[in-house]
Amino acid sequence: MATRAMNRTLNHALASLVLMYSATNDSLVMPSYPLEPTSATFFKFFQVFLGILMLTQTALPLAGALVIGTWIYLWRWGWLVAADAIPVVSVAVMYIMSPWQSHKVAITEMSDVQLRWVRLVLGFGFFALGWLKIYNYHLTAGVADNYPSVMDDPMIGFFSMGTNAAFHRENWIVAFALAEVLSGFMLMMGIFTRVWGSLMLWVLVKLMLVNFGWDEIPHIYPIAATLAVVFSNKASSEFSIIERLQRKAGREGRTAFRFASVLLASLIISALTVYTLLYAFTYVNRTNL
């Protein structure tokens, strides 16, 4: 109980820290989204106000709604910007489902519904970001050129094993993208949640503190949400039907059926979530990027 309470307090502090940092650096949520001079003062005070709500655990549903409203506002810069900020919405989901009297309630853990929605939104965010790295590969290549150390990450290197070393950067782009696709999908579906969540925490913290620096402080949003998921004891899976079939078949000794059903499910999932999109992206026109 004490660990979960400390984790939730830490999440509030981390989320408010990002807003305060952005307010002092003339940016909106992320340092890469600079504020226009005509509206900078308003958005600075807005972010400070929102950070205070989070830090004091006051009117958390209002704080969540304001975060979602800010995310909607990011659409003015295009759908790619909004998609990049989807992990921010995972924190808003947790807040918007909190009680209005949050400042009077000792909230020590998330409910089952909160945890599921945070997991779904956060997982989908990384799943989408992975595919966007392939779609807008020029931007991802620019990151590799400016921060070459990111290409030596051992986790991402696992996805590029056996590839041609002469195309190290190009292989890294696809490997990095598919690592996010796989991690996001696993988290979204609730498969080995703590394992994949822990791997994501390690990578996110490393990117922020070692590779990119404080310019990537918005990583704190997915870090906070992932921490909440990893340390929760209410993890669930979107494949509960398959899991029940597996347990039933195991009790009945139907080993062949267990292997066949898992193999079939894996092929269908990989075809729908990876190969179909990967094939479609080969025909997408990217000349406007």
Instruction: Give me the pLDDT at residue 215, please.
Output: 67
For residues 213 and 268, what is the distance between their CA atoms, to the nearest angstrom?
40
Q: Which of 127, 75, 106, 91 is nearest to 14 (CA)?
A: 91
Q: Comparing C-alpha atoms, which of 205, 203, 224, 201 is closest to residue 214?
A: 205
**pLDDT of 6 over the 50 cut:** no
* pLDDT digits 0-9 by tens, 143-194: 777 777 777 777 677 777 777 777 778 888 888 888 888 888 888 888 888 8
How far separated are the first and last CA of the chain, in Å rounded? 49
Tell me: pLDDT of 245 over 50.
yes
Q: Are 241 and 36 in contact (CB under 8 A)?
A: no
Determine contact, residues 22/70, Cβ cutoff 8 Å. no
| CA gap 270, 153 in Å, rounded | 25
pLDDT at 8 over 60: no
